[in-house]
A and B are shown apart, each in its own frame.
Chain A
Amino acid sequence: MSSGDGSSEPSSKISKISKKPRYSRFTQQELPACKPILTPGLVITILISLAIIFIPIGLSSISASENVVELVDRYDDVCIPSNSSNHDEKIGFIQDAATNKTCFRTWIVPKKMNHPIFVYYQLDNFYQNHRRYVKSRSDHQLWSPKSERATKLCEPEAQNDDDKPIVPCGLIAWSLFNDTYRFSRNDDAIEINKKDIAWGSDRTKKFGSDVYPKNFQTRGLIGGAKLNESIPLSQQEDLIVWMRTAALPSFRKLYGRIETDLEANDKITIEIQNNYNTYSFNGRKKLVISTTTWIGGKNDFLGRMYMTVGGTSLFFAIAFSILFVIKPR
């Protein structure tokens, strides 16, 4: 077959002219590769190490959460005249500016609470994440006095009846929470520090120190709290806190801090001004005081989930091992 090879000569010359790039490990897909295979050993090791990591973290989370002392008190249903049983009466009560809405609650501190103790108000069934609501604000206006008229997004709380811009405009600011609390222990007032309850970044970069409230809550319909027009927005910390909208319909917002320790069995009296209308939409109001640990406030969820995941991993590790012993393939 010697003559046969001659014929392939001319074509081989042509095939030299090919578009192939220079040889490289990339183009030839020959990069060094590791190919993990789900061997029983690997999987069981992963599961066991998951268990080993997760169970301690879960335990410490649970203990951290246990160490948090948290007092929660729902007051919207009690801070209302007992005679107003039906819905409309409640609404009538809360919307009547003339009535006295002061309400007293008494708590017994179950365990020693070290300072700082955080005071929150909790709203349930309040949709701060509603589309109309969330959008209804003007960040430009909040930051700069020059953008006072940048109220396009704030409808329907953009301008007052004289077409003057409302500062701060929008539904969020307009519906500012306005219940107030006063704590006292054995008739000694406990001071609530309301400084620095808002994020520092909001105070310095989002809310202008030269922006003052204007035409706020001057329309016929009054939503929530009024603002002191002589204090710049950057110092209106309740507003700043409120305007960090919550993602879920149940949320807590920081009201202030108690800078003294509360001893066990302390009897605490709280004077609540029950102003905010949650009765229209069957919302609930709660007052919460809580200490914190590294994990934050009281939250059993993480710890329990960690325990669950760790436990399940351990279970499956054992199950797979047994299965492997019984039936390797």
Chain B
Amino acid sequence: MTVTHLSKMRLWLPHSPPIFLNRETLELTVAITSAVTYAFCNKKVGSTALDFDIVIEKNARFMNQYFLLIACLQLWSLITPVNPASTWGPLIFIFAVSATKEAWDDYNRYLSDKKANEKEVWIVRQGIRKLIQAQDIHVGNIVWLRENDEVPCDLVLLGTADPLGICYVELKGKTTAALDGETDLKTRMIPSACMGIDGVIECPRPDKDIRRFDANMRLFPPFLDNDVFPLTIKNTLLQSCYLRNTEWACGVAVYTGKCNETKLGMSRGIPEPKLTAVDAMIDKLTGAIFIFQIVVVIVLGVAGSVWKDTEARKLWYVQYPKEGPWYELLIIPLRFELLCSIMIPISIKVSLDLVKSLYAKFIDWDDQMVDLETGTRSHAAKCCISGRLYGNENGDALTDAELLNAVSSGSTDVIRFLKVMAICNTVIPVQSKSGEISYKAQSQDEEALVRAAAHINFNASLIQYEVLDILEFTSDRKRMSVVVKDCQSGKIFLLAKGADEAILPHSYAGQQIRTFAEAVEQYAQLGLRTLCLAWRELDNDEYQEWAVMFKEANSTLVDREWRVAEVCQRLEHDFEILGVAAIEDRLQDGVPETIETLRKAGINFWMLTGDKQSTAIQIALSCNFVSPEPKGQLLMIDGKTGDEVSRSLERVLLTMRITNSEPKDVAFVVDGWALEIALRHYRKAFTELAILSRTAICCRVTPSQKAQLVELLKSCDYRTLAIGDGGNDVRMIQQADIGVGISGREGLQAARAADYSIGSVSGTSLFNSVSLMAYNVFYTSVPVLVSVLDKDLSERTVMQHPQILFYCQAGRLLNPSTFAGWFGRSLFHAIVVFVITIHSYAFEKSEMEEVSMVALSGCIWLQAFVVALETNSFTILQHLAIWGNLVGFYVINWIVSAIPASGMYTIMFRLCKQPSYWITMFLTVAAGMGPVLALKYFRYTYKSSKINILQQANVWEGQFLLWGT
């Protein structure tokens, strides 16, 4: 994180604190005394400049450059074998379509930006409220907002209507609306020192991380004693949030829409040129085809030139000029290049865009999908307090009479346990109008705990605690703590909760942690998620000393997260373990079935979870993720040291290699520690393992490990789809080819990251595992149109490579081996069409127009049957598309044949009257499809015997689904 650029601003407040309520009447002078100023530019919100350089932009990709080259070559009439319109038409059409789309998007963006720019907001200047347009807000202005106002730019809170300086914001994720209108309420507080200020806010350079804001507020005299206050994201109001449950709030603008430097603007506004997997693969394969094409062109070009010089000069009827121009040598290769240019069809781009947006639409539309994915629901189920287990086999601890008794009898351990449950969290209680209290939590576990605690009524009357510090949860620390002060006794406590391995080792010397460890194990066996609760009483001195350090750490601008964690470590030791709470993480209905189906579909699943190993295995079993013995087998990779891990990795690999020949479900289980070692030192072996195994469970993994795993799988040419709902899945989702953020209860962060990452890719969610769906409909219509347009291509080439056009489209351009398969098949079909046509239309029938039409019809027929064979499920749409194409081909050609001026006048009628034409078509289809059908059937039926041979290199369907929990 760079902090070289500090924007400093000075807030000067003559009156002294505490004055929240009439803050708006105060005179606030804001001066920017930037020691290091950075240039504020004068642009308005957004990037509304309409792109007129779309053509250039579009051509950034290889394919587009290629098409443009071809189109330009075609303008050279000396070499063009076809009417230039056959390339230019589609090209112009394609560019027109995408340019229109982009212009429309830009226009809409412009409108919404304009609206945002011209919205009127209150700012406080010289103590007077003024209405100005949002675009005129400058850094350092004090912005005043009322309830339900949208925040116009990033603000640091200065005051709110609430005496404690708290306000609530709701982030209405614009982009998440597509999923289901996710909302989330968050607390925001004014900085504790901000009771009246004359100071400078030092904030880092704007970035797009909407979860962090590592800034400081430096106060000027008279507040010398505590001159630096940390500012965090909690003290900010980010752009596009809505102010809720607070009458008013005001804050100083730190990042404004100018230069689009608000956090939201940055996270949204920079379009990442992240190509999807399909795009990338297509570009790769296009490159491959291009190379093939170049080879063909060179070979044929040389042959053609030689033939021309030796033979063609003898053809008196051609009248070759004796001396050609200097570039004569180039002409024949270039002509071949143009003829071969249809190997990479222009329409592929349009088809792809079309397919992408259609799939995105379908996903959006799909009710079921949302239903299935709305995540898990958790509720506290069982607990173990000081060695006693509450909650019987099936029952909830909450209904356990024993626990209730213990509560009512005032058992100290139980009470403490419940206190920690109730206090040690970041849950926001929200009282609705009807008086009901609901809880807004960032984590569903917390919510469950708090609700459970609320459910068990305390006997004691109101106990007041003052929360002094919150040692926040991070996924690396795996625990959170709060420092509270008992308002009655004045004692200071540290309350902590966290994962067992983050809490249990930190217990005070001498405490028996075995029972807790056992309880954890036991709960984990049941597939419950466990949390350990602990506490410690703090000395006042100890706390004071620590608090200083904590504050210091919190106000660092560099590596704040890490330093804070380090400081927290100093306090979090010698815990007295209170107990273990177990939370049931219920799977949604239908999840097992879905997973089963997807696994059958050949999708490889990896479950990446922060849960304990046994919990993870239980969950995996319960959702059909792995099959139970004896059908399935779980292989453990564990070990504490490098050697151990290496050995167990080797062992698993060995087993994996052997068992892969059996139809057995083998999955491996690896925990975070071993994974770390494996990834660091035995990457190669682990990669092989990753390729071999279809299922894996990785438990106790950190977010960065999740991301690393995704990267690893991506490097093996797998396409990864990461699904996650938790905040710690964010990085993984961003890393994966397709990130799906699920907006469950917990899921705001994940959904936000996913949606932002998706949103910044292209504005639609991309779902690339196309092979699962019937994709054929969309692929065929355009190529046929193109082939019809291309009909006047020189027949020799049409006949040589007619299929490539189509196969480039329909082929699962997803991995090179399937592509090679398609390529071979298309070559076979090309040969079939060519040979049959020239032999059945030989001699007296060898009329150019007729022969070319016979060849073209042959291609169309074959294409229809290939698509039909590859279609997995026929709905009316598929039938329409496949057979409609065929009919359409004839109709169009009949129409063209009826026009006297056209080159193919009467040709189609003439052909359709000849029995030999139909016989030829029939033959073409049978000869082309018969072998393909037989091969496909053979593969399909005797796949299992085949698989052994292919095992080593076989990337089965080549898809991975990573499931973050």
Contacts and interface: CB of A to CB of B under 8 A. Distances in A.
Interface stretch (A24-32, A96-104, A228-236, A263-271): A24-32
Interface string B903-929: 001100010001110011011001100
A297 B906 contact: no
B318 A127 contact: yes
A294 B937 CA distance: 37
Contacts of B824: none
Interface residues of A, number: 88
B177 interface: yes
A142 B927 CA distance: 41
Contacts of A201: 900, 905-906
Given A32-B876, A50-B926, A133 B362 contact: no
A130 B838 contact: no
A247 B795 contact: yes
B368 interface: yes
B843 A252 contact: yes
A151 to B, nearest CB: 15
Given A40-B941, A301-B840, A7 B438 contact: yes
A85 interface: no
Interface in A99-132: 118, 120, 122, 126-132
Contact of A305 (B315, B361, B836, B933): B836
Given A250-B846, A305-B927, A281 B311 contact: yes
A222 B841 CA distance: 32
Given A18-B177, A132-B320, A175-B317, A302 B920 contact: yes
B42 interface: no
Contact of B451 (A4, A33, A132, A171): A4
Given A297-B843, A309-B923, A157 B319 contact: yes
Given A301-B840, A305-B836, A35 B874 contact: yes
Given A1-B451, A280-B314, A301-B839, A120 B874 contact: no
B436 A11 contact: no
A92 interface: no
B874 A33 contact: yes
B211 interface: no
Interface in B835-863: 836, 838-852
Given A122-B843, A171-B317, A3 B796 contact: no
A174 to B, nearest CB: 8
A18 B846 contact: no
A59 interface: no
A20 B440 CA distance: 27
Nearest to B906: A201
B930 A313 contact: yes
Interface string A7-18: 100110011111
Given A254-B844, A296-B914, A313-B930, A11 B81 contact: no
Nearest to A5: B438
Contacts of A313: 926, 930
A15 B181 contact: yes
A3 B318 contact: no
Nearest to B848: A247
Contacts of B362: 27, 29
B916 A296 contact: yes
A28 B923 contact: no
A294 B181 contact: no
Contacts of B914: 296
A91 to B, nearest CB: 10
A38 interface: yes
A20 B365 contact: yes
Given A3-B451, A305-B836, A277 B844 contact: no
B451 A31 contact: no
A36 interface: yes
A247 to B, nearest CB: 4
A18 B874 CA distance: 30
Interface in B313-362: 314-321, 335, 361-362
A265 to B, nearest CB: 26
B367 interface: yes
Interface in A27-57: 27-29, 31-36, 38, 40, 43, 46-47, 50, 54, 57
Contact of B848 (A11, A23, A28, A129): A129
Contacts of B876: 31-32
Given A129-B796, A130-B312, A28 B368 contact: yes
B170 to A, nearest CB: 10
Nearest to A175: B317
A221 B852 CA distance: 33
B576 interface: no
B318 A130 contact: yes
Contact of A245 (B319, B451, B848): B848
Nearest to B843: A252
Contact of A329 (B177, B366, B367, B942): B942
Contacts of A216: none
Interface in B169-211: 177-178, 180-183
A134 B873 CA distance: 46
A19 interface: yes
A61 B922 CA distance: 13
A27 B877 CA distance: 12
Contacts of B905: 201, 205-206
B934 interface: yes
A247 B361 CA distance: 47
A127 B314 CA distance: 11
Contacts of B315: 127, 130, 280-281
A39 B362 CA distance: 31
Given A7-B440, A299-B842, 18 more contacts: A1-B455, A3-B436, A17-B177, A18-B177, A21-B365, A57-B919, A129-B795, A130-B315, A131-B335, A205-B900, A244-B849, A250-B843, A301-B839, A302-B923, A305-B927, A316-B930, A320-B937, A329-B944
20 contacts: A1-B379, A7-B430, A10-B432, A15-B181, A18-B177, A20-B364, A23-B367, A35-B872, A35-B873, A57-B922, A130-B312, A171-B319, A175-B317, A280-B315, A281-B316, A282-B314, A294-B915, A296-B914, A309-B926, A329-B942
